[in-house]
Structure 1
């Protein structure tokens, strides 16, 4: 059931609302001319009205029980904020130029996560468009955009959205978003939209006045859970499934990143994620495009990506935080919070071999066994990263990896990421070593809510006991401090690091052994005491051998590798990468004694030559 306003053309518009317990509902037009349009019950709690002389730009509320006025919960535009009238949108007026666009294969994606408000000085969709060509030149072919659903004020990460169908006005609204997506497709870049189906933000959320969108059966970090399996949940499920299809059909989105699905609770026979995946794939097939659902989950649960015949949900891929935690703990030696479960080379080896480090082993942080075995699931089922909005922004000072480790370690980390047999995600600015923080920021209007947010963030930081001055999320300067210094990408070490990322992506795309994301064509092992990790990958006649030194000292060792003539194709210690000078030879053989620089990596190849 399509809900919300639906402009049909020639001044004709329908309005559909799910409100099963209201006795009377009407559409209150407030602009351009006030009038009241009664809605008729349709069964199963739905109400509908069809009216003439309703044109795009018309502003309206729903009138509930002949009295209270509220915005449309499925509003597609809130031009005057979360508490004001909703706007009728005409999706057919967009002149798309992507008729031949088929999408980007999941296994080929190099994902670049960005926040619209901090990626450019302007903080708009339009300002991103001129940068698309540089991202494509870097090797990026998929951009993951943090949530754009309408949130209160003009500063927010996006996870406080309260109108999942609407596009944030301060970013450029619906038309601005479409223009960005269209431009990205013409550049050869897919767009992944981060969506939040586990909670609504606290300000401007009127959904509970319409219907039982929440259940007290479960609790989430944000309060009562979304009602996906309790009484009257069918309308809730329809609301979110229709939302996923809305982005696919009206905005030509290529994939959705589903936020924190571990806070989506459903004990019904068909999980909401399975139903959503089936509907999403069906519409994608009808449109003839490659479309995907990617889940964020901290459960390490393979059921997320297994198909329904295997008892799974059929989601195309999921995030694996274990990889990030391995790299971060090895390089920074931090042991606070969840990092206490990580810090060994053996764990990174397991992350390469199996994607999940915790596959039903005891977690000291969680104080219980955690995870499942993903060793037989191909690498294109997992998204891994060195940095993302959560891992940076949930630190007191919002420090990036560039603030915590050396330049040599940044190159080592880049190689560890881009040589993995999983889908890599780069956080905006990471590719050139951006040093500005990424902090948490909001722009609420309720003083009590602002104070609650401040206290909540301090409580979250307490688990890490990190020292530093807490920056007020409500202060406008907090967002300004989080803006990228994009100009740095052409300066000194920043320019070199960007070229290093570019070269790694080129190797990943052109060498068959690196293109093949099967974990069966891989062998990884380590020398734990020396913090050396060895990664051997192959595909047919193409082979790659990678040496990684996570030690802050040079290390000598005896190489044990297949009997081949290995030729070096990349060494992060090379002077061209502002390294300390190479110690590894151009060619190596098995059982040869070698010395590798501190915090460096080298890549050797045999077989097919690029």
Structure 2
């Protein structure tokens, strides 16, 4: 593995500081006193300073004009505008020293926001509920982005200091303790990372390294130029930083279709290959997954272990959107692409992964996707809700608030036993109705711009709901998103939690051991609401699904198929409303 170029490096005598600042004429490291840095021909500034140890705080002074944090800061105790802190990653005493992870087919994911997962809102308070996740049958905890953002609350997609876990949730050793405790319980921990843009506040790279950016724009700001070797290394080293120094078991790369890279997908390839080298060197399972609106099946391969340029799986938005339209009838925005035949779209997703595999998307105004049926079902992460699909709604309301209980429970019975990798959003396992509205903590003109942008985007919602639409900048909006763990004690949440636990117990026993080598089969949907599907499992058995996703009993010969029921009752040719039966044989 190559040595890390960015960020401070502890030496036997002190600390070596490095900064790539090709547009700067002079750089000083600001400690108790300024220390001039030496410029090399390649735009790198370096300074070896004796006696500087872990815990030291520093900034870089650019051309005697502005003091900035280290762009590769390991920690920002006083937020993005404060000094950076030198961290000794090698000093942490890991307890789960023999942890090597779990194979991908074991994955049952829960997505969680650290600040909203518990009333304490910290890495350490999350530990209190790890046993609950294990008892539920969850095997992987996926954290929303942690890269340091401006303010005390944020979804995490406005990070500006990619290497520094945000101090709002605790110190680096607190995050490591959370991961260590998860590993001791057999839980994988994954991290959402953002490589398509920097946040809007606290990013100084344009001042001293403007070539990091192109003239192009993403929906969230200036595009990053990954043709620049240093910027490319900055992203790849960041991925390795989280995987090596914090021992995350994997990464979820946000909206990679918004990475502006002329010439193709080479950054994604090189990042995967670098992670694969780490996995090979350490004997670990490392899982890389994508969010990708382009539905590129060609860069997915869950069996490539360790990674060598491809990715385990992709979040399957198609699956979610079809279910949402079926259960709610919503047709705004991207849901319009699924309103014609949502049940048929669900069948297509169950039989070949994506719904859009090259067809024209009205919402995207062009062809979308690549054929995906030759992939393993485990190349797709299916869900009924996530931070985007809940939080990008004007009220941040969950499916529980807009769909019928029997429909949700049928959808869970399909998703949690199907061969694709299932993902829940925090609290979904007990049917939490806690909203997850968009929230942030910007100030001044930026705060006003966020407010105005949301009013423009959700004009119809403000016209209908008025002041009921949460103000993203208000503290109470964030507070409303904090999970109510006492809610689990109520009768309905207890019933839902038992359902999810029972389903995941069957998945653990009957499905997961057969997923290696599994393949898609056939699926179909009828106009009256009957859904059938089958898969060829890795051990040669056939997994078969029959579900009635309607309010009426259905008669159908498919209910007499072979196999032993592993979920649901014998149907004898008749399928009750909103019932689901799984067979294995």
Normalised TM-score (structure 2): 0.93
Query: Are 1:415 and 1:601, in contact at CA under 8 Å, matched by a contact in 2?
Result: yes
Q: CA deviation at 1:400?
A: 0.4
Q: CA deviation at 1:270?
A: 6.6
CA distance in 2, matches of 1:425, 1:270: 26
CA distance in 2, matches of 1:537, 1:71: 53
- Do structure 1's residue 489 and structure 2's residue 488 form an aligned pair? yes
- Do structure 1's residue 593 and structure 2's residue 570 form an aligned pair? no
Where 1:143 maps in the other structure, the secondary structure is strand
The corresponding residue for 1:329 is 325
The corresponding residue for 2:388 is 390
Q: CA deviation at 1:46?
A: 1.4
Query: Are 1:381 and 1:422, in contact at CA under 8 Å, matched by a contact in 2?
Result: yes
Where 1:511 maps in the other structure, the secondary structure is helix
Q: Give a deviation string over 1:286-333, Cα, whole Å, max 9, x none.
A: 1221112211111111233269x9xx9522322111000011111111
Query: Are 1:306 and 1:313, in contact at CA under 8 Å, matched by a contact in 2?
Result: no
Q: CA deviation at 1:570?
A: 2.8
- Do structure 1's residue 91 and structure 2's residue 89 form an aligned pair? yes
Q: CA deviation at 1:569?
A: 3.8
Query: Are 2:200 and 2:221, in contact at CA under 8 Å, matched by a contact in 1?
Result: no
Task: Find the partner of 1:437 among 414, 435, 438.
Answer: 435
1:156-555 matched pairs, under 5 angstroms: 156-229=154-227, 233-268=228-263, 271-305=266-300, 313-343=309-339, 344-445=342-443, 447-462=444-459, 467-468=464-465, 469-512=468-511, 515-516=514-515, 520=519, 522-527=521-526, 529-539=527-537, 540=539, 542-551=541-550, 553-555=551-553
Query: Are 1:214 and 1:224, in contact at CA under 8 Å, matched by a contact in 2?
Result: no
Query: Are 1:304 and 1:318, in contact at CA under 8 Å, matched by a contact in 2?
Result: no
Q: CA deviation at 1:166?
A: 0.4
Superposed CA RMSD in Å reads 2.2
- Do structure 1's residue 15 and structure 2's residue 17 form an aligned pair? yes
**Most deviating of 128-137 and 6-15:** 6-15
The corresponding residue for 1:603 is 582
Q: Give a deviation string over 1:422-463, Cα, whole Å, max 9, x none.
A: 111110011100011101111113x11001111222333358
**Most deviating of 279-288 and 263-272:** 263-272
CA distance in 1, matches of 2:561, 2:314: 36
How has the CA–CA distance of structure 1 residues 394 and 521 changed in structure 2, closer, same or farther, with 3 Å as cutoff?
closer
CA distance in 2, matches of 1:217, 1:42: 27
Q: CA deviation at 1:64?
A: 1.2
Q: Give a deviation string over 1:26-64, Cα, whole Å, max 9, x none.
A: 2111xxxx1222212244221211111112221111111
Normalised TM-score (structure 1): 0.90
Which consecutive unaligned segments of at least 5 residues does structure 2 have? none
CA distance in 1, matches of 2:557, 2:580: 14
CA distance in 2, matches of 1:516, 1:93: 39
How has the CA–CA distance of structure 1 residues 304 and 543 changed in structure 2, closer, same or farther, with 3 Å as cutoff?
closer
CA distance in 2, matches of 1:316, 1:42: 40
CA distance in 1, matches of 2:90, 2:558: 62
Q: Give a deviation string over 1:93-144, Cα, whole Å, max 9, x none.
A: 2100122111111122001100001110000000010111110111111110
Where 1:560 maps in the other structure, the secondary structure is helix
